[in-house]
């Protein structure tokens, strides 16, 4: 399989190059040259397969030409050492719980898969690979824990100072070993801009091997298609049209869902559920795509004003607004609306969302039609936002998983960083030796 840049100004590359480089030389994102449909036999058998068996078949379609089948199966099985259960919340509305992995967030799937794939491609290479990742919340912890202790790889996590929850922060600033946390005095968009600038700097490219573990990397975002298949396989109301409501920030998660649909998964449409960061909502409403500075909200992992992966969605649909709008609608909610939805869901159904899941839940409540069944992605355990959630529903109502409690005991170790690229470059040069 060859991978091309969404900007179409760089040569096509193989999977190894796409994964190890992360970003194309023309600043575009890599995409597979084709997305093949799975056969009817697979869909007939899907309900009888385990999550790992199902994901292995999907992975074979996505990556099978580039990795030995047994190695790919091993990567999938090691990645999916946990389930993504489908939980009934109310009539025709289900939560797809993606927080049962090591860091209790959906990004465990993509991060664990990418760490293992990158390690395979590096093989016995002697050069140290530096993984750069910008995070607005859960990406940092998932990537850091996914790569922790892997020889030959150093991870540098950039995050906006004061704009992630304490629990999210503790999951990557306390690890040490081959993980370094950089506390950036700016926004997530500033962190993302620093990472992209590093990939475009010719001097850094000569001095060190750089790659990204954000969802801009094909090995991070494509495996997220696995749990869309798992959700549909678990769903019993298959006589109705299936709708996924996806809390959306950088849009890697929703892009993976669209890839799953392109592979034949019977999904009618997607809802891009946004907080106050409404760039894509405005595009879907008007056809005009204009990025802007991000706005801080209580659903902080979605605080993105320049979502990288939307370039992939535009590319997937040939920049055709009408085509995109036929499979994807958008919503946008204020903090007050998010709080109200989280509270009412807990009060009326007993189901406790995190702030991001509450956005997607509300979108289904407002948008779902009578001939549809809806699945919203519950992307992180509510305990990762304990203070925010308990301010809404009351103290003592958010159970603290043991894994999170252990992270909270760790000592914070960070490198403070401004938004100036020169300072970031100086730091990278200093650790390249």
Please identify every residue annotated as catalytic: 107
* Cβ atoms 155, 178 nearer than 8 A: yes
Q: What is the DSSP letter of 412?
A: P
Could you tell me the strand order of the sheet in which 129-134 lies? 209-212, 129-134, 153-160, 179-184, 414-417
Residue corresponding to tokens 């385990």: 50
Closest CA to 418 of 255, 206, 184: 184
Beta carbons within 10 angstroms of residue 340's beta carbon: 15
Angle at 73 between CA 235 and CA 403, to 5 degrees: 70
* Cβ atoms 106, 90 nearer than 8 A: no
What's the rounded Cα separation, in Å, for the pair 173 and 153?
17
Pairing status of strand 414-417 against strand 372-378: unpaired
What's the rounded Cα separation, in Å, for the pair 312 and 28?
9
* Cβ atoms 91, 125 nearer than 8 A: no
Burial environment of residue 91 by CB neighbours within 10 A (0 to 12, 13 to 18, 19 or more): exposed
Could you tell me the strand order of the sheet in which 241-247 lies? 86-90, 93-97, 372-378, 241-247, 269-274, 328-332
């Amino acid at each position: 399989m060859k991978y091309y840049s969404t900007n179409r100004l760089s040569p096509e590359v193989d999977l190894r190059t796409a994964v190890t480089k992360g970003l194309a030389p023309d600043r575009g994102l890599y995409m597979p040259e084709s997305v093949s449909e799975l056969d009817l036999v697979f869909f007939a058998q899907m309900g009888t397969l385990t999550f790992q068996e199902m994901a292995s078949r999907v992975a074979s379609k996505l990556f099978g030409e580039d990795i030995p089948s047994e190695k790919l199966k091993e990567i999938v099985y090691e990645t999916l050492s946990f389930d993504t259960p489908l939980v009934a919340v109310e009539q025709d509305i289900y939560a797809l719980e993606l927080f049962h992995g090591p860091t209790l967030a959906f990004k465990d799937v993509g991060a664990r898969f990418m760490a293992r794939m990158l390690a395979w491609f590096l093989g016995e290479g002697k050069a140290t690979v530096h993984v750069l990742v910008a995070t607005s919340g859960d990406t940092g912890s998932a990537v850091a824990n996914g790569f922790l202790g892997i020889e030959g790889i150093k991870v540098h996590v950039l995050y906006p100072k004061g704009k992630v929850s304490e629990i999210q922060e503790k999951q990557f600033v306390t690890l040490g070993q081959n993980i370094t946390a950089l506390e950036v005095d700016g926004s997530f968009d500033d962190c993302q801009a620093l990472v992209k600038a590093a990939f475009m700097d010719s001097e850094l490219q000569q001095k060190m091997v750089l790659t990204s573990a954000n969802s801009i990397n094909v090995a991070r975002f494509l495996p997220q298609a696995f749990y869309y298949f798992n959700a549909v396989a678990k769903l019993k109301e298959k006589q109705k049209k299936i709708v996924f409501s996806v809390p959306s920030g950088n849009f890697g998660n929703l892009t993976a869902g669209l890839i799953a649909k392109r592979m034949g998964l019977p999904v009618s449409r997607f809802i891009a559920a946004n907080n106050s960061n409404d760039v894509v909502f405005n595009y879907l409403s008007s056809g005009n795509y204009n990025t802007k500075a991000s706005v801080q909200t209580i659903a902080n992992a979605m605080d993105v004003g320049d979502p990288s992966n939307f370039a992939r969605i535009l590319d997937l649909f040939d920049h055709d607004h009408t085509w995109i709008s036929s499979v994807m609608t958008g919503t946008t909610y204020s903090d007050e609306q998010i709080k109200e939805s989280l509270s009412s869901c807990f009060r009326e159904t007993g189901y406790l969302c995190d702030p991001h899941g509450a956005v997607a839940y509300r979108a289904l409540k407002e948008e779902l039609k009578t001939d549809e069944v809806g699945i919203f992605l519950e992307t992180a355990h509510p305990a990762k936002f304990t203070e925010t959630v308990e301010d809404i529903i009351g103290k003592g109502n958010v159970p603290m998983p043991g894994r999170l409690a252990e992270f909270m005991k760790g000592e914070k170790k960070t490198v403070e960083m401004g938004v100036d690229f020169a300072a970031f470059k100086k730091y990278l040069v200093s650790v390249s030796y």
